[in-house]
């Protein structure tokens, strides 16, 4: 059976981008594959959280994973820092990861641009740690959004380089995965680019947002004065709202508003109202379970403990083999 690994950085609440790009696929995959889903708290250290924040954020993602329907009996759910074998593999892979290729990564270049005051080495080697997360379980399928595609390519590079260097077909090649035919990019509400935590207030709709907040955010989403010619191409902000509708609404709802747009009869107020209601319905089952799961501290502790045991079992097997391949020996 193929192995699946994915994780999300614990830097805040999960939004619809995380949900449709990653978590929804986790839930479907757990019935078909051997799955490892983790909370990337080592990765979150690049942004220097306080100790209290670090733990709160990890718990928050764990709760949202469970509320979204990841079942600890089917998939292994764990906290990355409970599996220190990952750091050991990260060290080995770092020895064969080169400055040039790391500096060329799009996500690194973006971070240098957005946070020039915090260009730390952890940020530079972020894709190596991510490769270690994946290779430690010898995974072949990695459910992530479109923005992670380049990281997957780097994971293949590092795994293949290890294999070549030691003359062992050891690590299989991991590929980004989505159940639909394409990787997903969920747009934000600000009229440009993807939905993301760091894209500014109002851009993201969170799984924890109440229906009132969702309505408010969607009604405020950037639009324009409306089409003036029939069948005119949609500007980015409008296309983004239609893309969101394609994700959360029924096909005939989408077709209905698409027709209205093409006939220049669309009223953005109605369109946004419908979009907000469909977002509310799509996220309702997750939202409803969040507070109940959050209150059950014993359950959360058990899930994390059980997950750590299973993840370490798999990780320590790989590390034992890697050490042998590299040539470490006991006296
Ligand atoms: P953020 O961009 O909010 O910081 P992360 O980078 O932590 O989110 O992403 C976690 C997971 O969610 C990754 O698999 C990523 O590909 C996916 N993801 C994040 N934003 C989007 C989006 N707008 N569309 C699709 N997938 C996304
Ligand atoms: N880089 C991913 C993100 O920003 C998070 C991540 C870390 C991850 N390690 C991973 C995703 C391993 C998939 C597999 O969202």
Phi, psi of 222 (to 5 degrees): -65, 130
Task: Give per-residue pLDDT as tens, 257-294.
Answer: 999 999 999 999 999 999 999 999 999 999 999 999 99
Distance between Cα 21 and ligand 1 center (Å): 6
Ligand nearest to the CA of 83: 2
Which residue matches tokens 């109002």? 202
CA torsion 160-165-168-169 (nearest 10°) is 10
Distance between Cα 263 and ligand 1 center (Å): 35
| The ligand 2 atom nearest the CA atom of 5 | 14
Task: Give per-residue pLDDT as tens, 186-203.
Answer: 999 999 899 998 877 899
Q: Is 212 exposed, middle or buried (0-12, 13-18, 19+ CB in 10 A)?
A: exposed
Question: To the nearest whole number, what is the mean pLDDT of the chain?
Answer: 96
Range 144-152 average pLDDT: 96
pTM of the model: 0.96
Task: Give per-residue pLDDT as tens, 33-44.
Answer: 999 999 999 999
Range 226-255 average pLDDT: 96
Distance between Cα 194 and ligand 2 center (Å): 17
Give, for ligand 2, the residue of 41, 151, 152 to mutate: max count of ligand atoms closer than 8 Å to Cβ: 151
The pLDDT of residue 197 is 87
Domains of the chain listed by start with CATH number: 3-177+296-326 (3.40.50.620), 197-291 (1.10.240.10)
Q: Percent of the chain at pLDDT above 90?
A: 96
Two structure tokens written together for 256: 């209905």
Q: Which residues are catalytic?
A: 111, 194, 197
Range 81-92 average pLDDT: 98
Q: Which pairing describes strands 141-143 and 175-177: parallel, antiparallel, or unpaired?
A: parallel
The pLDDT of residue 142 is 98
The CB of 195 under 6 Å from ligand 1? The reply is yes
| The ligand 1 atom nearest the CA atom of 6 | 14
The pLDDT of residue 316 is 98
CA distance 67 to 64: 5
Cα angle, residue 53 at apex, residues 199 and 210 outer, rounded to 5°: 55
Give, for ligand 2, the residue of 6, 89, 105, 126 to mutate: max count of ligand atoms closer than 8 Å to Cβ: 6
Task: Give per-residue pLDDT as tens, 2-24.
Answer: 999 999 999 999 999 999 999 99
- Residues with C-beta less than 6 Å from any ligand 2 atom: 5-9, 40, 43, 130, 133-134, 142, 144, 148, 151
Distance between Cα 50 and ligand 2 center (Å): 21
């Amino acid at each position: 059976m193929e192995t699946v690994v994915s994780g999300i950085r614990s830097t805040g609440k999960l939004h619809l981008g995380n949900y449709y790009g990653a978590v929804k696929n986790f839930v479907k995959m757990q019935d078909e594959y051997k799955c490892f889903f983790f909370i990337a708290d080592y990765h979150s250290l690049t942004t220097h959280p306080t100790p209290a924040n670090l733990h709160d954020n990890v718990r928050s993602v764990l709760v949202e994973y469970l509320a979204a329907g990841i079942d600890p009996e089917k998939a292994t759910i764990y906290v990355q820092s409970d599996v220190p074998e990952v750091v050991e593999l990260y060290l080995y892979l770092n020895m064969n990861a080169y400055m040039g290729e790391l500096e060329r990564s799009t996500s690194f270049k973006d971070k240098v641009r957005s946070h020039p005051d915090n260009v730390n080495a952890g940020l530079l080697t972020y894709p190596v740690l991510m490769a270690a997360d994946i290779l430690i379980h010898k995974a072949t399928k990695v459910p992530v959004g479109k923005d992670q595609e380049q990281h997957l390519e780097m994971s293949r590079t590092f795994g293949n380089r290890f294999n070549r260097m030691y003359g062992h077909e050891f690590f299989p090649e991991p590929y980004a995965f989505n159940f639909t035919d394409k990787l997903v990019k969920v747009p934000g509400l600000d009229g440009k680019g993807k939905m993301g935590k760091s894209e500014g207030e109002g851009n993201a709709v969170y799984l924890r947002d109440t229906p009132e907040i969702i309505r408010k955010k969607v009604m405020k989403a950037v639009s324009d004065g409306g089409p003036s010619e029939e069948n005119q191409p949609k500007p980015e902000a409008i296309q983004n709202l239609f893309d969101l509708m394609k994700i959360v609404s029924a096909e005939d709802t989408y077709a209905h508003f698409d027709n209205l747009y093409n006939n220049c009869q669309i009223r953005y107020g109605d369109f946004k109202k419908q979009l907000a209601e469909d977002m509310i319905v799509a996220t309702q089952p997750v939202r409803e379970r969040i507070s109940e799961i959050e209150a059950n501290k014993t359950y959360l502790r058990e899930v994390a403990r059980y997950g750590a045991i299973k993840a370490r079992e798999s990780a320590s097997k790989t590390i034992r083999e890697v050490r042998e391949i590299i040539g470490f020996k006991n006296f």
